[in-house]
Amino acid sequence: TQLLEQSPQFLSIQEGENLTVYCNSSSVFSSLQWYRQEPGEGPVLLVTVVTGGEVKKLKRLTFQFGDARKDSSLHITAAQPGDTGLYLCAGQNTNAGKSTFGDGTTLTVKP
Partner 1 sequence: EAQVTQNPRYLITVTGKKLTVTCSQNMNHEYMSWYRQDPGLGLRQIYYSMNVEVTDKGDVPEGYKVSRKEKRNFPLILESPSPNQTSLYFCASSPSSYEQYFGPGTRLTVT
Interface residues with partner 1 (CB under 8 A)? 1, 31, 33, 40-45, 48, 50, 88, 90, 92, 96-104
- Closest CB 95 distance from partner 1, rounded Å: 8
Q: Report the alpha-carbon distance of residue 12 to residue 85 in Å, rounded.
A: 11
The CA–CA distances, whole Å, from 66 to 11, 23, 28, 60, 110 equal 22, 10, 10, 20, 30
Q: How far is the CB of 83 from partner 1 (least distance, A)?
A: 19
Q: Between residues 9 and 77, which has the closer beta carbon with respect to partner 1? A: 9
Q: Is the dihedral of CA 95, 89, 57, 59 positive or negative?
A: positive
| CB 4 to partner 1: min, Å | 9
